[in-house]
Amino acid sequence: MQSKWIEDFVSPVTQEPLMLSRAEGDGAEVKSGILANDDSRFEILGGIPRFVTSSYLTDDRESHSGDERTSRELQTAHSFGRLWRHESYMPKPDQSEAVRQSLSEQLEAMVGIPVRAESFDDLVEPGMKVLNAGCGTGWTETLFKTPEARRYAVDLSLAVESAYEATRELDNTIVAQADISALPFRDGFFDLIISNGVIHHTSDPSGNFARLVNKLKPGGMIGIYVYRRKPYLRELADMAIRTKSTDMSFEDCQKFAAQMTALGESLAAIKEPLELSEDIPLL
């Protein structure tokens, strides 16, 4: 991280400013150090400020312990951390146009394009502070660079390491590892917040939505994407699969995902229509 970002961070608990100490790096680039005040202490590791406990700095499944909420949050962070650091998910300069178009449509739908503006670049004005709450690999920041704005990419998982590598050349972007339920920013700090497919994975979705709203300036805008409610039989199938997949190794889950992808592609190739003579309301 560049030292210019330090003044933007506060303690997630008290919202008091943090001071940098024990800094090591190259010029303005801080690779390691401590952000602290009288009540809080957080490390900078690998150029990334870490506002999380040590359990989130590893993929060790054995660290899922403690109360139910902690265990669930850890399991989710570990799973997505490994997924988003897999090379197949890293943002690539030569990403296919189809992938770029799909990602663009997701973001634009979240922030009301074209109702509010013609494009995301038009929506983001010079000097705006934009938070990506649950940034994953940082694809939003790499596809929509908006150099005139200050971009903040935050994730609870080790996906921040992928996001950091993808955005390290962007002078207007900072990546931090933090929990969206305890963000290291002042209330009323952001002009725009986006969160794509994240809060429904937390133990308190409605509460975390409210906490994100608290970080907005008066008149600010928030764009959220959450999964839609699935049909009943699909939900039953997913629940049955999860009873097995949650105990699988990461490698076995990847193999299973590849098999399901092949199945989905095969089903999608079937073009003949299925006709029913009568609706089935229960389904």
What pLDDT is attached to residue 261? 92
- Give the sheet arrangement for strand 129-133, strand by strand: 19-26, 29-36, 41-45, 48-51, 173-178, 150-155, 129-133, 190-196, 216-225
- What is the pairing mode between strands 41-45 and 48-51? antiparallel
pLDDT the model gives residue 66: 55
Strand-pair partners of 34: 21, 43
The parts of the chain modelled with pLDDT lower than 50 are 68
3-state SS, residue 75: helix
CA–CA dist 96, 89 (Å, integer):
13
Residue 20, H or E segment: strand 19-26
pLDDT digits (tens, 9 = 90+) for 250-268: 789 889 989 999 999 999 9
**Residue 188 φ/ψ region, left for φ over 0, alpha for ψ in the -120 to 50 degree band, beta for the rest:** left
pLDDT at position 88, please?
66
Report d(CA 112, CA 119) in Å as an integer: 9
State both tokens at 225: 């994407």
Structure confidence by residue, pLDDT tens digits, 122-172 = 999 999 999 999 999 998 999 899 999 999 999 999 999 999 999 999 999
Q: What is the pTM of this model?
A: 0.85
